[in-house]
């Protein structure tokens, strides 16, 4: 039954993306705000499909910790679900994502128009400069920045080194950094066809103290995640070291959405 439900959801997701992607041509004519609302609708319908078809629900805690206005969300990244949910939780989020996603047919142009922040991971130091510049523009526009410091999707219970690009972004922007833990990989594993019924938990921690130096900030993010993981009832299976197949180290490794 789980396999059949996963197959049905995947079909629903592909058809939804195809139909809305083609219709997005007209949305582009009305500017960024409408594009962002349209992207939010797509994410909301995708998550509704997860709930109704696969029996996956969301448990959100710590919403009171989110300050008003621009903020830097430093989230764990275990699943494609993580790239959907923040468009439904924040008023005007801007994701830091790998540039390859902007080349996807139908979806890519809408991501750019909606004000997402692409990173060219092959551009060296220029990529970091572009990231800081585009983030400044997004903050001036009142956006909330969503970044995945691990740099890629990491299986539930595993760990990967946090990339220092998030610290550079925090120092440059001056935004409050809010760590977010999740166990989304339990229900929607990375690179997996199957979607398991259950509850995806998202735990928002209080903002970190301002002015932390690079390593102190990375350690504080990791510690906040670990506290919430302990509450979720699972332990990591590996020490917090980098695994080469998961980590991109260009320009100090600006973390991107994979």
Residue 132: the pLDDT is 92
Q: How sure is the predictor about 23, in pLDDT bands with cuts at 50, 70 and 90?
A: confident
How many domains in the chain?
Answer: 1
Closest CA to 180 of 207, 155, 219: 207
Residue 234: the pLDDT is 66
Q: How sure is the predictor about 252, in pLDDT bands with cuts at 50, 70 and 90?
A: very low
The answer, yes or no, to whether residue 170 has pLDDT greater than 70, is yes
DSSP 211: T
Query: Comparing 111 with 198, which gets the higher pLDDT?
Result: 198
Instruction: Tell me, yes or no, whether 20 lies in a domain.
Output: yes
The answer, yes or no, to whether residue 248 has pLDDT greater than 80, is no
Instruction: Tell me, yes or no, whether 136 lies in a domain.
Output: yes
| pLDDT (mean) for 138-161 | 91
Each residue's pLDDT tens digit, 117-130:
998 877 778 888 88
d(CA 93, CA 139): 10
| pLDDT (mean) for 67-90 | 94
Instruction: Tell me, yes or no, whether 258 lies in a domain.
Output: no
Instruction: Tell me, yes or no, whether 121 lies in a domain.
Output: yes
Residue 176: the pLDDT is 95
The answer, yes or no, to whether residue 238 has pLDDT greater than 60, is no
Instruction: Tell me, yes or no, whether 257 lies in a domain.
Output: no
% of the chain exceeding 70 in pLDDT: 90
Cβ neighbours of 191 (radius 10 Å):
8
Instruction: Tell me, yes or no, whether 217 lies in a domain.
Output: yes
Give the pTM: 0.86
* Residue 119 near residue 256, CB atoms below 8 Å: yes
| pLDDT (mean) for 40-44 | 94
Residue 66: the pLDDT is 94
The CATH number assigned to the domain holding 67 equals 3.40.1130
Closest CA to 218 of 164, 143, 145: 164
Residue 247: the pLDDT is 38
d(CA 119, CA 131): 6
Domain of residue 76, residue span: 2-252
């Amino acid at each position: 039954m789980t396999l059949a439900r996963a197959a049905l959801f995947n079909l629903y997701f592909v058809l939804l993306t195809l139909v809305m992607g083609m219709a997005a041509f007209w949305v582009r004519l009305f500017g960024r705000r409408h594009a962002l609302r349209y992207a939010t609708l797509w994410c909301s319908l995708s998550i509704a499909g997860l709930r109704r078809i696969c029996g996956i629900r969301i448990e959100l805690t710590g919403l009171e910790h989110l300050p008003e206005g621009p903020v830097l969300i430093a989230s764990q990244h275990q699943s494609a679900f993580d790239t959907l949910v923040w468009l439904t939780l924040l008023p005007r989020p801007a994701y830091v994502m790998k540039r390859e996603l902007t080349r996807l047919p139908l979806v890519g142009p809408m991501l750019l128009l909606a004000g997402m922040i692409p990173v060219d991971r092959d551009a060296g130091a220029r990529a970091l400069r572009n990231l800081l510049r585009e983030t400044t523009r997004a903050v001036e526009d009142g956006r909330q920045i969503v970044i995945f410091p691990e740099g890629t999707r990491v299986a539930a219970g595993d760990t990967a080194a946090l990339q220092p690009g998030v610290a550079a972004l925090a120092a440059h922007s001056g935004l409050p950094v809010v760590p977010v833990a999740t166990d989304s990989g339990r229900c929607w594993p990375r690179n997996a066809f199957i979607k398991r019924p259950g509850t995806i938990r998202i735990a928002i921690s209080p903002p970190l103290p301002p002015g932390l130096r690079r390593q102190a900030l990375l350690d504080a993010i990791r510690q906040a995640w670990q506290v919430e993981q302990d509450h979720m009832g699972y332990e990591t299976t590996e020490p917090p070291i980098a695994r080469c197949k998961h980590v991109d180290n260009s320009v100090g490794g600006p973390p991107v959405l994979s």
